[in-house]
Amino acid sequence: MASEIEFTNLIQEHQGLLIKIASVYTNTTPDREDLFQEIVYQLWKCFDSFRGESKITTWMYRVGMNTAITHLKKSKRQTTITTLSEGVAMGMPSYDSIYEERLAILHTYIQNLNQLEKGLMLLVLEGKSYSEIAEITGLSASNVGTRISRIKNKLKNNIVKL
């Protein structure tokens, strides 16, 4: 019973993190809600096995991203562009129109990345360090740095072509 209360509190406290993961890997509200529920279910299934060797949010990111990728493979869906109201920017305060336009362009190009690249960019935009990203993804910190550099160049080259 105590673990149920602890788990419920954990999900409520970090609900935004799970919504962001679900938003990056889906394109509709129903799909996002389904994926969110699947992530919560997977977190519950392995909650007792969390050993505390990493931060709880690191563990949640890892389970969430792995669940999202597995969910996509099972459903054989291709991701498409989402609106900002449904995307990562959900819950952000209102900014000026130029900022929102640039964010929409960036979000559009992020949606065109492959699954791992989307996950890496999500973590970068969350302000995670390379070592934290390495711990979440299972990649080495140097590999994370190399991949992120390549992704940034890819995004920059695509956006410049506008």
* DSSP of 42-86: HHHHTGGG--SSS-HHHHHHHHHHHHHHHHHHHHTPPP----TTT
| Cβ neighbours around 14 below 10 Å, total | 16
| Structure token pair of residue 159 | 């956006």
pLDDT bracket for residue 81 (50, 70, 90):
very low
> How many folded domains does the chain comprise?
1
Query: Model's pTM, two decimal places?
Result: 0.63
- pLDDT tens column, 83-121: 444 444 444 455 467 777 877 788 888 888 888 898 898
Which residues are within 8 A (CB) of 14 and not within 5 positions of it... i.e. 6 or more apart?
56, 57, 60
Helices 115-125 and 130-137 cross at an angle (nearest 10°) of 140
| Structure token pair of residue 51 | 């050993």
Answer yes or no: is pLDDT of 82 > 70.
no
Mean pLDDT for 118-133 is 89
| Structure token pair of residue 27 | 């394109």
pLDDT value, residue 161: 66
Angstrom distances, CA of residue 68 to CA of 22, 94, 157: 7, 28, 28
Q: Pseudo-torsion of CA 10, 13, 14, 20, nearest 10°?
A: 140
pLDDT value, residue 88: 47
The least confident of 25-29, 78-82, 116-120, 155-159 is 78-82
Of 158, 146, 38, the closest CA to residue 109 belongs to 158
Residue with more model confidence, 69 or 100: 69
pLDDT value, residue 140: 93
pLDDT value, residue 127: 87
Could you give the angle at the alpha carbon of 14 between the alpha carbons of 11 and 15, nearest 5°?
70
Mean pLDDT for 54-65 is 90
Residue 126: give the domain boundaries.
2-160
Mean pLDDT for 78-85 is 47
Helices 15-24 and 2-13 cross at an angle (nearest 10°) of 60
